[in-house]
Amino acid sequence: MTGAGAPPGWPREVPPPQADGWQPKAVGWLLDHCPAEYRSYPVVRRQPAVLAWLAEAQVDAQLAAARGAYARARRDLGPTLGPEVVAQTLAALEAEGARLLALRRGVRLVAEALGPA
């Protein structure tokens, strides 16, 4: 859990940047939001700024995919699944979009705290 001094939007799973030992937890949290294969690349493990940059790109791609799905849901799903399922799908995509926006803010805050990329 974050404590005093963490900026608004700081991820709850990462101690604030002034806490002792916060960086390894931040690195683990960022890795959790990247494809698992990223863990196998030494540069990603050794360079937190690279990891943060890649995590932000990953979250942005997920957000773009959710927005694209939202834009196509009625056309692609409506004819076969009906309006009730489309409405449920749109609601799920709205919730996912909000989650991803909050995640992107957290990733950016952690990236800034880790230092320049």
pLDDT digits (tens, 9 = 90+) for 7-66: 999 999 999 999 999 999 999 999 999 999 999 999 999 999 999 999 999 999 999 999
Look up residue 34 and give its DSSP letter: S
Chain centroid, CA 11 distance in Å: 10
Residue-level pLDDT at 3: 53
Q: Give the mean pLDDT of the chain.
A: 94
Q: Is the pTM of this model over 0.85?
A: yes
pLDDT at 5 over 90: no
Express each pLDDT in 52-61 by its tens digit: 999 999 999 9
Every domain of the chain and the residues it spans: 22-114
C-alpha atoms less than 13 angstroms from C-alpha of 58 in its C-beta half-sphere: 17
The three-state DSSP-derived secondary structure of the chain is CCCCCCCCCCCCCCCCCCCCCHHHHHHHHHHHCCCHHHHHCHHHHHCHHHHHHHHHHHHHHHHHHHHHHHHHHHHHHHHHHHHHHHHHHHHHHHHHHHHHHHHHHHHHHHHHHHCCC
Q: How confident is the model at residue 2 (pLDDT cuts 50, 70, 90)?
A: very low
Placement of tokens 């991803």 in the chain? 100
Q: How many helices, marked H, and strands, marked E, lie in the chain? A: 3, 0
What is the rounded average pLDDT of the residues 81-100?
97
Average pLDDT for 92-115: 96
